[in-house]
Structure 1
Amino acid sequence: MLRKLYDWTLSLAARKSAQWWLAFIAFIESSIFLVPADVLFLPMALAKPERAYRYALIATIASVLGGIAGWYLGYHAYETVAKPVLEMYGKLDTFERLRNSTSADAILLMLITSGLAHLPPIKVVTILSGAVGVNIWLFIVSAIVARGARFFFLAWLLRSYGEPIREFIEKRLGLIAGAVSVALILLFIAIKYLH
């Protein structure tokens, strides 16, 4: 089923309405959807590299708005809406552990790592941010930085290197972003526990 969903999302890039689909996918990815917006963003930016930054802006804005929706789900509708969504994805137990043991600082760090490398999935972090009451303005700024950095960096890579960079992005960018995320987490832990 996941492969069919992935293929369907990828097929949207060829449509005239691709920009609207990109906004829609980026929005719902940040709150409830399983497939990342990159699946649509990459082929769109490769097909029209002159529009890569425009697509990055669309994806960033929609992703941040979706993140705000996820925050509101966690803050106002955790029991009735967010909990069933997390249960459907098999993330409820992990979420509950995080919810009961994680500080607001750690959640903001997760928002950055999730925005950059999908570690943990962005929808989990946006809902968690609302459920524990992370300040909404701090949340928004963090989401803009994290999601914007990801999409605009991808746009720069695609404009600069074109099709040859696609394989690198699809295979290795996740590893590199994951390594940066781990480094950020270790830095956070070092700062927190050395002071």
Structure 2
Amino acid sequence: MIEKVQKQLQESINVKIAALSLAEKVASASQLIIQALSHGGTAFFLGNGGSAADAQHLAAELVGRFEKNRKALRAVALTTNPSTITALANDYGYENIFLRQLQALAAPGDIVIGISTGGASPNVVKALTWAKEKGIETIAMTGENGGDLARIASLLLTAPSSHTPRIQELHITWGHIICGLIEEALCSNG
């Protein structure tokens, strides 16, 4: 059992070491969000399953606090309202649950962050496609091939792995780094 634990920890470490080469892209993603927030925009986060949890986690870090007591930042996870999600899924199909919310809430100057380990979740693809068509900046966090989101996102962060747990571990690490850079840039005076 100990060997299995060590093996999985080593795999996680190896993915993060491989991701060092993506530092510039992570900084660019941070800058896109900083730009939107500094001009009164909102950061919209979305994803399914574990990626939905990451979307909620990262939105909460911005609205609440990450490492500093500071002003609240405009961030929304489109995964948090069961009544909205189930009504939209029932009336418009599950593939439209994020799209319909963005149609109601998002505008140019905002930013949409889609999280999908395979990069092919139909509801995430539809949402980012719509955002792109409306001139809204988009960031996608995916696994190694980027899936359909590779051709849609303004900026693509591809975890160097095809193993879902390792991808998700890197996504939340990137999210924490991005939240820290946002706080540093926008909230130095509380």
Instruction: Give me the TM-score of the superposition, normalised by structure 1.
Output: 0.29
- The structure carrying a bigger strand percent of its residues is 2
- The structure carrying a bigger helix percent of its residues is 1
Instruction: Give me the TM-score of the superposition, normalised by structure 2.
Output: 0.29
